[in-house]
Chains A and B, each alone.
Chain A
Amino acid sequence: MEAVLKNLANTVELLAVAAHSCAVNQWDKQTVSRAFHWAKYCEHIYSRFHTNSTIRRVMEKQLQLTNQSLRDAIPAYSEVSFTDLPRCQHLLLVRLLKNPELPSSVMRIFFETKSAVNDAPCEYEDIRGLCSHMIEHRSACKVLSPVSGASAVGADAEVQGEMLMERLGALLSQNTNPHLAEHFLCSVLPLFEGTAQHLCLVITAALLTPKDSATQTASQDFLLDWLLKKDNVLQYMCSLLPSTLLKDLAKEHLKFREAYCGVLKQWASDMKYSVNDGEWGQTSTDPPVSFQNITKHFQTLFEACPSMRASTEDELRALRISNGDFDVRGLSVWGDLLSAIKGQK
């Protein structure tokens, strides 16, 4: 273990050198290639130990120490945390590129393209064309994005949803402490600050990933339970997602179906009738949901699960009766909702 910790500390120091030292101008292909091997080593020990809380704690301690001494030596030093380890090679690359002392010969290797060299594998295959490939893939996504609108979720949200499920699955299967997984999900939320629509899509994608294994089913259940506790996220989803996705979710998950129905009833119960406009309206949600929209949502729900129609209508009828059972428009939101739903049948 001691050796591992020493290697870890050395690699973190290496990252600091890559970012800040003018010694980098002495680096040649071999040096850079070796540096990437060390970075890869850190990625490996992360994947090996990140679920082992004892070892993780020891490593975090080591990182703290190394960071401390580096911070003392280098004023502009940016720390390396335990969660940075799986992206160690990427960190190394970015830091090298930002270091003005990086020899241009190394830069040339990073930016090589396949057509520029013969296709025979070379000694430094791992670093050759590293940047060129990234640019290629990112650009290709941009080129294709105008035509990829056919998918309701979007490729990026779908990949993020898959990654979310993978991480959640790993946390749940290797850890008996559910708080860790819950903490993890809560830490994801602020990442999508200001992009609520995208967050909804990521969660949707995660909930709609094919359930290939028991782990995945368990992860989805966990995510769903968490979602039902986050009332604001759930409301966002119901108001921001396109009806096709809401329908898919309702079809796939019984719990979501019920929660969806609950949100709709809550929206309806908040409605006030405006005599001037002759319409039901509400102000409690942001953006406000109209009476027509609630009706449409109920329709979506019934399309996803036809058996819910009868029970929901019964429920609405009971609510109308509790409101006095008047058959006059504008008196009971439940009565008006019931006739609107029946009218659309």
Chain B
Amino acid sequence: MNTRGLSLDTIPPLLIPLRFFLTAPLFGICAALLIFYQGSDIWLSRWSFSSLALTHLVTLGFMLMVMIGGLYQFIPVMVGQLIPAGQYLAPVIHSLLVIGTFSLAAAFLSHFIFLYVLALISLALSLSLFAFSLIPLLIAQLNKHLLVYLLRILLVVLAITIAFGLYMLFSYSFPDSLINYRLYTDIHALWGLLGWTVLLIMAVSSQVIPMFYVTPEFSKNSLKLLSMAIVLTLIMLSFSLLLIKDKLFSGIFFELLLSIELLVFSLYSLWLIEHRKRKLADVTISFFRIAHFSLLVVIILWWFYAQVISAEEELLKTQMEFILAISLVYGLALSAIIGLLQKIVPFLIFLHLQRLSLKHPGTISLVPNMKKIISTKNSKIQFLFHCLSLFLLIFSVFFPQWVWLAAILMMINFIWLWKNLLQGIFLYQKNRKQILNYNYSYET
């Protein structure tokens, strides 16, 4: 690539990704408050409205929120093009996502039809606007970028997940329409929890792990093949759920295939992490280890759930469903995302201060080291809170009398994350002022 005449635009304004990153922990805190408020009832059934509210507070409020903020930041760095109109669209997308997620959780808890309608409109608008703003990038000739390839697949999977979700939300909003909620919920959960979560972590891992930990690069062809295989298997599994009444054979075959695909991804990622070129002590890599270890646990438990537990063992079946969901969402996705935030937010602050410092000669010493923006000690404490809360959430499924403690630890985990991110922003503001003032006194 020759850069002559090329106008690179790789650095979006800091506020665009940060508004998403700073909002996400607040939804985590709300989710923890809901668990605390509901107590042991939260694990009674995955069909209960409180557990639906909890799932969506975490998946939409935390995971999707960080994903959108992360894409606003990562796409320009990787492909050299900003997501168009970010300055105007990001605040709208963000506000609608906040309104949509809160109203959806509130609708599940209160059953007010108005809230379902509000959630339907806000979420549909927010996600359509974001998808619309990605169109130029998705149709551009950027095939050499693995991120763009994975992103295309990820957005298709997300669109299918959301389409099923909005369809059910539409039915909640207009109660006269009769649909098979359980079947559609299963398919929605399959695409969301397995498809979207795993492919999101795949896209994140493929960029972040080699960049921050100097591991060997992920093989582009392997990840392209693997992501496509996961989507095809999900399609076949959905068809077997929707169309084939006796799904015994086809179901087991596609479940086995999906397990193998997830196993390959998990072992491959762990292998790369262990083969990094410079084994520097860095606690944030432990978040990625926990994430991929959780995926291994999910695969093992899934087979135990599907093959060993009989339909009569209803309590154990329900407990396994919650443990699978906790391991996938809190263990796999949140571990990787919290680990990512410990890296990406200091990196962004560093990048913007460095840019400012280049324009103000002599101020380079005012650009802090990344490890000072979120200290290693604070990241270690974050890791401790995260692991403890993950363990206690799983423990509380079997011993619901301890669910209050799990909720408190989960709340502390998100409060600590929020505090660390805010501290980074305050440091940015302070150093930014110092750089600007330094320049002023130097010039006069």
Bind each other: no
